[in-house]
Amino acid sequence: MPSPDFTDSSSRRVLVAFASRHGSTEEVARVIAEVLRERGLSVDVRSATAVDGIADYEAVVIGGALYTARWHREARRLMHRERTALARVPVAVFAMGPRTLGDEDVSQSRRELDVALAEVPEVEPVSIAVFGGVVDPAKLHFPLNHMPAVDARDWDAIHGWAAALADRLATEPPVLA
């Protein structure tokens, strides 16, 4: 009997779940899913609130925005709710947050994400990324609606992270039930 070929990722099912208030994290999740599909993975994209289980997936990507130094509540809830199942499959995590891509802003956002991930120590992500955030004052309430508009997303970095993740998932052995 031939040994399994883990480089054939065509049947690998991946869930990309996002937690987003104003839509920018969802946009990033959809771009990540598109890159994963281009690399031969079968991908479903869902809001974290719409995920009712991950048993049908061999890998999971969870993304959420950082608000007031905390990862989006629905991303954290999904991690807690599915912690046992997530501990058995490759998990990748991303956060949207810093208003600039300066080293200190990105490092601070990473520390905030790490606090959320520490709440579910049994889940060990295979990849973690922090991407620049978006501030659209028109979508915010007072006094935040007086902040300057910002879109710090680096689409090349997002594409690159998703491509590297797809390559990693293609070589990860499937989880045996």
- Every domain of the chain and the residues it spans: 13-171
Looking at domain 13-171, its CATH architecture is: 3-Layer(aba) Sandwich (3.40)
Top pLDDT among 26 and 139 is at 26
Least reliable range by pLDDT among 11-25, 29-43, 126-140: 126-140
* Cα 60 to Cα 43: distance, rounded to the nearest angstrom: 9
Render pLDDT for 136-167 as a digit per residue (tens, 0 to 9). 545 544 555 555 566 768 899 999 999 999 99
Helices (H), 18-97: 24-38, 73-81, 83-86
Q: At 112, is the pLDDT very low, low, confident or very high (cuts 50, 70, 90)?
A: very high
* Mean pLDDT to the nearest integer, 82-99: 91
Helix, strand, coil content of the chain in percent (nearest 5): 40, 20, 40
Render pLDDT for 3-16 as a digit per residue (tens, 0 to 9). 333 344 456 899 99
Burial class from Cβ neighbours inside 10 Å (0-12, 13-18, 19+) for residue 98 reads buried
pLDDT above 90 coverage of the chain, percent:
59
Sign, Cα dihedral of 98, 167, 171, 28? positive
Can you read off the two tokens belonging to residue 63? Answer: 């993304």
